[in-house]
Amino acid sequence: MRCYLLALSVLMASLATAQEAVDWSSLVEKVMPAVVTIVSADAKDIVQGSGFIISSDGKIVTNFHVVAGKPAILARRSDGSFLVIKGILASDKANDLAILQAEGRNLPFVQLGDSDAVKVGEAICVIGSPMLLEGTVSAGIISAVRELQDGRKLLQITAPISKGSSGSPVFNRKGEVIGVASFTLSEGQNLNFAVPSNAVKALLRRLGITLSPLPPSPTLSFEERFERAYQEAIQVAQKIEDASVRSEALRFIAEATAEAGQTERANQVFQLALQAAQKIEDAGYRSRVLKEIVEAMVKAGQFDLALQIAQKIEDAEARSWALSGIAEAMAKAGQKERANQVFQLALQVAQKIEDAQVRSLALRGITEATAKAGQKERANQVFQLALQAAQRIEYAWNRSLALKEIAEAMAKAGQFDLALQVAQKIEDASRRSEVLEEITEAMAEAGQFDLALQAAREIEDAWDRSQVLAVIAAEMVEAGQFDLALQIAQKIENAWVHSLALGEIAVAMAKAGQFDRALQVAQKIEAAWSRSWALKEIAKAMAEAGQFDRAIEVAEMIDDHVARLQALAAIMAAKQKAGKGEAGKE
């Protein structure tokens, strides 16, 4: 007896060792997209189980008891998407099997293996959704193959099966499904059973369905994969009937090939995109599409080709914008002489635009491009032309809109004085306020705090003025000018914004190690939520600086319960981190 027990223990140890040695990670990654969670429902209850896709057209295997009598069935995939189940194709109540038909094409699927070839002790893994825990993987072995009185078979497995696992695929090391997890005996310990995969095959044969084997997965190089993707994309794009959509698709393909360094091919595809664009009947729309192609060519560094196409654009505004974009790119690429020529060409085109508003917009675009290219003197000249065009716009609302856009463009280009002058000419008060906000924020970001404050005083709306002052204070804090930031914060009229600004200043001070000043500022914050937030951040900064006792004192000052808890948690984490650091030194 002792010899028998010793032999048995050696066998079980060897099986356990074999089981531990199996790394299922690669297989799981490969098959997981084909494993689904099944949810079925009727008027009384909802049942949840598992299943797996066995064909690219959406045939799914699960347990009969998961879907029996349920009119509504859904399958949830591992990526979170759902497959609608059109119906139950076949069922086998005796073997607890059902084959569902889902809506879908080109779906990932798994292969059915030969369950008659399984061996006792063979390693297996099960993937399912026990207790709503989707994508759960459990490993084990085939512990026995049980033959029932009616001739049916069951696979006894050691991989656990819980509620929700019903219908889960049982995989062998090859990634083949050799069983369908079905039930567990609650009276025993780890006694789990699966229906053999050959029973699924028999059910499929009854339907007259023969599943094709999985195609071999070739090992392709990255270049081969790119080439295959390119061929597929170009074939699909050229079949698109709508000329504008086809042109856009071809443009994207050209951009991708250019990015991959395939310049000659990119040019060929750009030509195809152009041919498609030329077939667009609406002239205005055609011009916009051609402009987008030119922009893509510029991005790909194809300046000469871009110039050729840009000059053929019928719409003057679109042509101006396209030419200015090319010039800007040329200037950035060091081709300043050519850029000057193209800017001049863009300017000539823009000045021929009859509609004052459109001409103003085109000139504004050229101005931005010249400013970005570092040609400030030319940018100022074009700004003046844009301004003249805007002031000739007949309708006041359109005139205000054009001036607003010009002023904002000037602010972005750093031309703050000019931007302010333009802003004062805007008749619509709300638009003037919006522009002043934009200009002020641009000034603050550029560190021009005095100018920003002057501009802020011109903002009529108190709420807008408060917000702008808060932005200026925040920029000052970023620059380490805490005293000035505090002075600005005191000028903020809106109480809510004032509290927010003081909180940000206090936190910035704490992060800079100025804990006493940070606490003084925090105590002046009127809004409780902002004060709690600031004190929490100050406590955290103190803890990170190693001042744990003081940090705890600050945390206890916090009114908000959640913020106080967060502060104490941060202190605890900092202490643990410091403790590990000390241990490491020892």
- Whether residue 424 is contained in a domain is answered as no
Question: Quick check: is 65 catalytic?
Answer: yes
> What pLDDT is recorded for position 582?
53
Residue with the bigger pLDDT between 554 and 351: it is 554
Q: Report pLDDT for 112.
A: 93
Our answer to whether residue 114 is catalytic in this structure is: no
For 283-425, where are the E strands, in sequence order? none
Closest by CA position to 251, among listed 236, 237, 241, 231: 237
Q: Which of 55, 166, 320, 530 is catalytic?
A: 166
96 as an active site residue: the answer is yes
Q: How confident is the model at residue 452 (pLDDT cuts 50, 70, 90)?
A: low
Give domain status of residue 402, yes or no.
no
Tens-place pLDDT, residues 72-81: 888 888 888 8
Across the strands, what pairs with 420?
none
Cα(472)–Cα(455) distance, rounded to whole angstroms?
Answer: 11
User: Among the three residues 157, 174, 207, which one is the final residue of a domain in this structure?
Assistant: 207
| pLDDT tens, residue by residue, 312-328 | 888 777 777 677 667 66
Residue 15 within any structural domain of the chain:
no
Q: Is the pLDDT of residue 336 over 60?
A: yes
pLDDT in tens, 223-282: 776 787 788 888 888 888 888 888 888 888 888 788 777 888 888 888 898 888 888 888
Average pLDDT over residues 372-377: 59
Please give the average per-residue pLDDT across 178-201, as a whole number: 85
User: Does residue 453 belong to any structural domain of this protein?
Assistant: no
In this prediction, residue 116 carries a pLDDT of: 92
- Predicted confidence (pLDDT) at residue 417 exceeds the cutoff of 50: yes
- Structure tokens of 136? 């759960």
Quick: pLDDT tens for 202-226: 999 888 776 655 554 455 565 776 7
- Least confident stretch, 23-27, 349-353, 532-536, 564-568: 349-353
Q: Are strands 192-196 and 46-53 parallel, antiparallel or unpaired?
A: unpaired
The predicted structure's pLDDT at residue 63: 93
pLDDT at residue 189, rounded to an integer: 66
49 pLDDT higher than 50: yes
Q: Are 183 and 80 in contact (CB under 8 A)?
A: no
Closest by Cα among 67, 64, 74, 77 to 47: 67
DSSP H or E stretch at residue 194 = strand 192-196
Q: Which residues contact 239 (CB under 8 A, 6 or more apart)?
A: none
Is 190 among the domain residues?
yes
DSSP conformation letters of 233-263: HHHHHHT--SHHHHHHHHHHHHHHHHHTT-H
Q: Phi/psi at 67 (nearest 5 deg)?
A: -120, -5
Choose, from 56, 57, 65, 78, the residue flagged as catalytic: 65
pLDDT at 224: 72
483-487 average pLDDT score: 80
Check which CATH number belongs to the domain holding 510 and give it: 1.25.40
Read off the pLDDT band of 119 (50, 70, 90): very high
Q: How confident is the model at residue 373 (pLDDT cuts 50, 70, 90)?
A: low
| 98: CATH | 2.40.10.120
Instruction: Determine which one of 40, 96, 244, 287 is catalytic.
Output: 96
Of 157, 189, 207, the position where a domain reaches its end is 207
Res 136 pLDDT > 50: yes
pLDDT for res 390: 55
What is the pTM (predicted TM-score) of this model?
A: 0.39
Total count of domains within the chain:
2
Share of the chain above pLDDT 70, in %: 69
Q: Which of 207, 222, 246 is the last residue of a domain?
A: 207
**Residue environment code for 404-413, b if the CB has 16+ CB neighbours within 10 A, otherwise e:** bbbbbbbbbb
Q: Three-state DSSP class for 481? A: coil
Whether 304 maps to a domain, the answer reads no
Domain assignment of residue 481, yes or no: no
User: Do the beta carbons of residue 38 and residue 51 sit within 8 Å?
Assistant: yes
Q: Within 13 Å of residue 268, how many CA atoms lie on the same side as its CB?
A: 6
Other beta carbons less than 10 A from residue 384's beta carbon: 13
Angle between helix axes 528-544 and 548-556 (nearest 10 degrees) is: 170
**Phi, psi angles (nearest 5°) of residue 35:** -95, 135
Residues 6+ apart with CB under 8 A from 159: 124, 125, 126, 138, 139, 140, 170, 181, 192
**Quick check: is 359 in a domain?**
no
Residue 481: the pLDDT is 78
Residue 98 has which token pair? Answer: 């059902």
What's residue 9's pLDDT? 38
Asked if residue 13 has pLDDT above 50, the reply is: no
Phi and psi at residue 61, in whole multiples of 5°?
-100, 135
Write the CA distances from 5 to 2, 9, 259, 498, integer angstroms: 5, 6, 68, 80
Domain that holds residue 124: 23-207
pLDDT attached to residue 537: 92
Residue 452 corresponds to which tokens in the numbers above? 């920003």
414: exposed, middle or buried (C-beta count within 10 Å: 0-12, 13-18, 19+)?
A: middle
pLDDT score for 39:
87
Mean pLDDT of 26-42: 89
